[in-house]
Amino acid sequence: MIRTTRSGKAIGVLAVGTAVALLATGCSRGGGSGDGGDGGAAASPGITDTTVTLGVTTPLSGGTAGPGNCTVAGLVAYMGAVNDAGGIEFGDGKTRTVEIEAFDDTYDPQKALSNFQQNASDVFAFTSGLGTPTNRAYREAAIADEVPQVLVMTGDPIFSDREESPWQLGFVPIYQNEGAAFGELLAESGEELTVAVLSQNDDYGEGYVEGFKEAIEGSSVEIVKELTYEATDTSVDAQLTELAATDADVFFNAMSITPLVISAIEKTKELAWSPSWFLPSNTSSPTAILGPAGADPAAGFYSVSFSKAPQSPLYAEDEDVKTFLAALQEYSGDYTTTPDFPHCMWSYMVGATLEEAFKNTEEPTREAFMEALRNIEGLQAPLMLEGTEINTTEDGLPAVSTVVVQKYNGKGYDSVEAFG
Amino acid sequence: MSQTSFSPDLTAAVTTVPFQRRTPWWVWAIGAAVVLLLVVAPLVMDIPTNQMLARVGVFAVAVLGLNVIMGYTGQVSLGQIFFLGFGAYVTAYGVQQEWPILLTFVLAIVLPGVAGLIVAFAAARLGGLAIAMVTIALPIIGVPLAKRLSDLTGGSQGISARFSDAPEWSGLADDQWQYYLVLLIAAITFVLVYNLTRGKFGRALAIVRENENVAKAMGISPYRYKVMAFTIAAMIGGVSGFLYMVVVQYTSPETLAFHHSINLLASMVVGGAGSIAGSILGGFYYVFVPNLTNEIAPTLTALIQGIILLVVLFVLPGGLASIPHRIRRMLRSRRADTDSSPSHSK
């Protein structure tokens, strides 16, 4: 501990005061935006006649850094190529290049809000950021300041509710969409199927089950048993034993925890129960989960997706994939040059969606941008699977709400038309 | 390290009032100027700066709470963020249930305080690392608990509470109102802790920190003082949680994640352990450095923060608050040099 004499304290206080004073220097309060409204709409912050600046607040360090870096990498890759080609011609006739400023929030809600507050005056729109709590943390501030917070990577439905979130739009499918896609596949089969459900006891698991139930309503598909587990559980053996006793045809497993999924696959084999499986998109990785768990493709492992998998041999020669990988190599060195997480592909699609919106932005204002963004229909962004599209016109749904059901083939996934 | 120089009379530290010099006039002048500056500042500064300063206030209080238990009492606590999160949740829930804001504020202090007291009963019996382990458990239990009690906490999607918008009559903008609210509550908390640590209570804590056997011999129960310090730290954590909601207006299980506790600890050490000014500087560090590193290189934030932390610890082991002390010592030794060797003109 330091010696605490009064004058020492005073010097300490003086140091703080000086720091405050230094901060105060140069910042004078005055209405920065909104003035100069002579003829036509004044340009919003973050946009000039030649550039537009996008902000991304996302985890670039810490536990979620992997997917977080990907949410910037794909976007930077897409816009890098666009800028090299001259930029985007906006709806007002001016051609602008796109600058991307990334901010690290380490998945901390407080830092995400801080990033928003410190930079909202230089950024035209915030986009592509990953995380439900972080995006939620500045949602209300974005609404209050009328700053777009669009195409964000969260399955939380609130971002796609127009009444609650007038300046927001989610990008990735909400949990319900995924559950519903699989439910529809089962319902369409017309077979009499029994389903055992295991879900995580939170909004994640509930979302999947809700979508699934809605889709199978009135069909010949029947849920015979429904159990839950806690996200903190280290084993679900008890639940699996109980579910195996039903000997259901299908096992709907809304689980978000990688090791639990692996042990669940192994345990069911032990119990001699061999249902068809449904796994959520984020816990269905062929290399990280199904392979290590020794999943038998013959049992039928289903998941959903809307993006092509660059690692899959199926798409090795695909034009989109080749362009994407090359762009990632060339422009995204600061973040990641290999698409380790699907978020890399997703943020690449975000780039394409933003380009489409910018082309239709009639005035250099945030209002005009939001209007253009909410008006995209049937856009097939690069890397999207056939049967999926960007549609921003429907209230309550994120930009991508269609997913394709896929089946594990031992190496990767193939799209399937029918169950069985 | 101790502020009490050792004398043969072991009870001197508690029984005698420390020698105090008369405060020179310029200390008061500077103090008044700083207060004036803090009060006038938000009226002239731009919105992001005010918002940042308000956040500094929030985390300065959080670091202050940690300082009470760690800096002044010497007990390792890695659970401080839990009390901040608890206070934030209580505030958010109170606002949602439309309780009077004063009641919410009081509960946001009392409930974390009670939680702190209960934990302290167990933790304070243990020594050293065992206390650290018990306190680690708090945020580790807190996160899944916050997710599980979704009726109260909003689950993993968190809970928003907008209650700190400027009222009409104040004529202030939202950011100014929030700044003043934080300034007022933080200032009161700091004054209370300042008085607490300089009085008999503070001196007892210092003895407990330095040597528990000596404390016992003097009739100071280390257990009792540790429990009290822990409870006070938890209550201050609750205050910072309330302020967190004033400024951030949103909380989620992520708010009380364990690694934030480590960040608070780092901020306390960088600011200066066992020092009031150090807590304020710690708040600055907690808020300002991530912003700064984002400006330098957003992908290298963790690395740069690590380097800053190491540099501060190497150059100033006593934290930023020890700078004046360092300067004074340097001046004194130079003066001593010139006094003792007047023949050598430099």
pLDDT tens, residue by residue, B181-193: 999 999 999 999 9
Q: What end-to-end distance do the CA atoms of chain A give, in Å?
A: 71
d(CA B236, CA B308): 27
Q: What is the pLDDT of residue B337?
A: 75
SS3 state of residue A387: coil
Same domain (yes/no): A49, A115: yes
Closest CA to A325 of A74, A86, A71, A83: A74
The domain boundary residue, chosen from A240, A275, A305: A305
Q: What is the pLDDT of residue A11?
A: 56
Residue A312 within any structural domain of the chain: no
The half-sphere exposure of A124 on its side-chain side, counting CA atoms within 13 A, is 26
Same domain (yes/no): A85, A57: yes
Band the pLDDT of B19: cuts 50, 70, 90. Answer: low
Same domain (yes/no): A30, A163: yes
Residue A231 within any structural domain of the chain: yes
Same domain (yes/no): A23, A129: yes
The domain spanning residue A233 has which CATH number? 3.40.50.2300
DSSP type of residue B67: I
**Minimal-distance CA residue of chain A relative to B162:** A140
Residue B344 within any structural domain of the chain: no
Same domain (yes/no): A202, A145: no
Task: Give pLDDT tens digits for A236-278.
Answer: 999 999 999 999 999 999 998 888 999 999 999 999 999 999 9
Residue A1 Cα to chain centre, angstroms: 47
Task: Give pLDDT tens digits for A322-346.
Answer: 999 999 999 999 998 888 888 999 9
Q: Test A6 with B298 for CB contact under 8 angstroms.
A: no
Task: Give pLDDT tens digits for B239-297.
Answer: 999 999 999 999 999 999 999 999 999 999 999 999 999 999 999 999 999 999 998 88
Same domain (yes/no): A35, A52: yes
Residue B257 within any structural domain of the chain: yes
Q: Is the pLDDT of residue B345 over 50?
A: no
Residue A418 within any structural domain of the chain: no
Band the pLDDT of B30: cuts 50, 70, 90. Answer: confident
d(CA A149, CA A368): 14
Of residues B130 and A118, more confidence is placed in A118
Which among B40, B49, B81, B95 is the top mutation candidate for probing chain A, defined by the most A β-carbons within 10 Å of its own β-carbon? B49
The answer to whether residues A14 and B33 touch, using CB atoms and an 8 Å cutoff, is no
Q: What is the pLDDT of residue A22?
A: 52
3-class SS shares of chain B: helix, strand, coil, % to 5? 75, 0, 20
Q: What is the mean pLDDT of chain A?
A: 88
- DSSP string over A89-108: E-TTS-EEEEEEEEEE-TT-
Q: Is the pLDDT of residue A28 over 80?
A: no
**Minimal-distance CA residue of chain A relative to B272:** A1
In this complex, is the C-beta atom of B301 within 8 Å of any C-beta atom belonging to chain A? yes
Band the pLDDT of B147: cuts 50, 70, 90. Answer: confident
Q: Test A23 with B254 for CB contact under 8 angstroms.
A: no
Enclosing domain of residue A54: 19-172+319-390
Q: Is the pLDDT of residue A13 over 60?
A: no
Same domain (yes/no): A100, A65: yes
Q: What is the pLDDT of residue B10?
A: 55
- Please name the residues between 215 and 254 in chain B that touch chain A, using a CB distance below 8 Å: 244, 248-254
As given in the structure block, the two tokens for residue B11 are 């009870």
Q: What mean pLDDT do residues B146-170 have?
A: 88
DSSP type of residue A146: T
Same domain (yes/no): A325, A363: yes
SS3 state of residue A131: coil
Band the pLDDT of B14: cuts 50, 70, 90. Answer: low
Same domain (yes/no): A36, A162: yes
d(CA A345, CA A335): 14
Phi-psi region of A106 (alpha: psi -120 to 50; beta: other; left: phi over 0): left
Task: Give pLDDT tens digits for B38-78.
Answer: 999 899 889 999 999 999 999 999 999 999 999 999 999 99
Same domain (yes/no): A359, A234: no
| Exposed / middle / buried, residue B35 (Cβ in 10 Å: 0-12, 13-18, 19+) | middle
Tally of structural domains, chain B: 1
Residue A147 within any structural domain of the chain: yes
The answer to whether residues A347 and A328 touch, using CB atoms and an 8 Å cutoff, is no
Residue B177 within any structural domain of the chain: yes
Residue B15 within any structural domain of the chain: no
Residue A165 parent element (H or E): none
Instruction: Calculate the dihedral angle through the C-alpha atoms of A185, A190, A192, A197, rounding to the nearest 10 degrees.
Output: 20
Q: What mean pLDDT do residues A393-410 have?
A: 91
Q: What is the pLDDT of residue B20?
A: 60
Q: What mean pLDDT do residues B159-167 have?
A: 90
Of residues A202 and B318, more confidence is placed in B318
Tally of structural domains, chain A: 2
Enclosing domain of residue B180: 44-336
Same domain (yes/no): A27, A168: yes
SS3 state of residue B251: strand
Q: Test A118 with B52 for CB contact under 8 angstroms.
A: yes
Q: What is the pLDDT of residue A34?
A: 40
Task: Give pLDDT tens digits for A167-203.
Answer: 999 999 988 999 999 999 999 988 899 999 999 888 8
The answer to whether residues B169 and B219 touch, using CB atoms and an 8 Å cutoff, is no
Residue B16 within any structural domain of the chain: no
As given in the structure block, the two tokens for residue A332 are 């995204």
Band the pLDDT of A55: cuts 50, 70, 90. Answer: very high
Q: Is the pLDDT of residue A1 over 80?
A: no
Tokens 């997913």 belong to residue: A403
Question: For B135-141, which contacts have Cβ atoms below 8 Å and span 24 or more sequence positions?
Answer: B135/B76, B135/B77, B135/B78, B135/B79, B135/B80, B136/B78, B136/B79, B136/B258, B137/B79, B138/B79, B138/B82, B138/B83, B139/B78, B139/B79, B139/B81, B139/B82, B139/B85, B139/B256, B139/B257, B139/B258, B139/B260, B139/B261, B140/B258
User: What share of chain A in percent tops pLDDT 90?
Assistant: 68
Phi-psi region of B24 (alpha: psi -120 to 50; beta: other; left: phi over 0): beta
The domain spanning residue B293 has which CATH number? 1.10.3470
Same domain (yes/no): A357, A296: no
